[in-house]
Each structure stands twice: as C-alpha cells, then as structure tokens.
Structure 1
Amino acid sequence: MSAITDAAPPASRRIGAITEVPGSADEQPAGPVETAEEATDPVWEKMAARAGSRAARRARALPAIASAQFSIHGTPQAPALEARVGIRASADFAKTVDAVMERIVPDVEKALGHDVLRTEIDFFIAPALPSLTRPASPTTVLTIV
C-alpha cells in the first residue's frame, strides 16, 4: 500500500552521513548514521533467537521431521525467517511441508508479534543413516520463498 501526500519540502534532509540543506554550498558531515540493518536491538535479537529455537524444537517434535534449523533475522518491523528442514524418507513429504507452513510459521509470527515478510525454508529428504564408507549423494531440496 502506498500513499502520496502533498507536503512542503523539508528545510533539510539527511542523506547517509551528510545533512543536505537546500541552497547551502557547504555541506558538512553530520556523523555516522545507522541504518535499520546496522542498528542492533538486543531485545529483538534475543526474542528472534528464542522464537527460532522454539520453532526448531516444535518442528523436530513432529514425527515426520528428522532435523530442523530455524533462524530469524531482519528488524522487528520486517522479520525474515530462514530454515532447513529434513523430512524422513518414510514420511508424506507434502503433508509435512503443509504442517510446517501451517503450524510452525504462524507460531513464529505470533511469537514475534508481526508477520514474517520473507520466508525461505529448504525442505529435503533426510538420509536414513549416515554412510561411513561412501560420500553422501547430493539431496534434492524444495525451497519455499
């Protein structure tokens, strides 16, 4: 959604670390400016880490899931979710993907108090047992973005 308003132009505007004043020939650095990506909020980081850990535990509790790793980053206003989920070979792949997308992801959004703006989850078939004698073959990955 976008809105256009007719407002008077600002007397000055901040661009990077320089304050631009219309009609001013001498522009002076105004000091470093933190962007949303550079600014760190320890409360947000802790909440995101907890939500990611909780999501991974809940996913691993599903019988069809062999492994799960979830991480949340971004900002409180624009959170992003990345995950890697290993599904057991004996499980119904589509039902398991649906379970994660319909149960785990909404729980993460609820914990964060905001919709996740970008979700990237790699679903793959987890090997039954690790092989000690031959290298593992590459797995097929379903990525939902």
Structure 2
Amino acid sequence: MDMFIKLKNKHRGFILYETVVALMITIMTLGILQQSLQILHSVQKTSFRDQVRWHITQEKLQDLLGPRKLKSVLDDKVYYFDDENKTMVLENYQSQMLRITTATEGGHLPVMTNIQKINIEKIENLVIITTENKAGQKSQMCIINDP
C-alpha cells in the first residue's frame, strides 16, 4: 500500500482570474480608505467651537429676522421690515463682515467678521448666506422667512 495521497487538482497556485479579482478588491479597499481619510481630515479642520458659534449665529439671525417680512434682496443686501415699518438690512459690508443695520435708528450689529467672501441670495422664502473664511472653508446659513 502506498502512503502517498495524490491530489486530483492539477493546478498548484492561483489562476489568473483569481489574482485579478484579488487585485481589484485590494484597489477598491484602498480607494475607500483614501476617501475616508480625506473626509476625516476635513472634519478635523473644523473645530467644535466653530460649529457651535456658527449654529448660534444662525439661530439668532432666524429669531431676529425670521418673523419679519422680507422686502427685497439687492446687491448682497436683504431688506426686512416689521409691522411698525422699521427696516433692518442684513448686508455684506466691505466683503469682510456680515452685519445688520437699522435704517431708522442707525448703527450696525456685526454678525460675522474676518470673512473673505460673502454671497447672499434669495430663493422663494429662503435667504441663503454663503461665506468663505480665510482658510478657504465654505459654510452656508439659511434663514427661513415665515412672518
């Protein structure tokens, strides 16, 4: 009796298509890992403090301007008025500051400062404020007009 066991499979190793499939899976896994690391890196750039500050600013603007009637949007300025015809203007001031001014009482209230670029647009009852800081990070704020 012979003690050797013969293998019925003639091939000893990977077949070409098995190698190609293994390489494709490896490449896809590395691509997903690279995208995940890029997302993680961009999230780490924004601190929790900045996110809270941005959220509080948006809530204050919504409380202040949301109940007022939207008059018009012209040249990065949004005009609001209330029942007593007091006009408030949310505007891009010198492309570095988002501020609120009152036409009747004078003065201004800085909302956000040290901004590189500000864009204000209106879509139906929604005012969208897009800002870009000096680090190149873009943020959007939406004020829903619901008088």
Q: Which one has a bigger Cα radius of gyration?
A: 2
Q: Which has the higher strand share?
A: 2
Is the shorter-chain TM-score for this pair beyond 0.5, marking a shared fold? no
Q: Identify which of structures 1 and 2 has the higher relative contact order when contacts are C-alpha pairs closer than 8 Å and 6+ apart.
A: 1
Q: So what's the TM-score if we normalise by structure 1?
A: 0.33
Higher helix share: 2
Give the structure-2-normalised TM-score.
Answer: 0.32
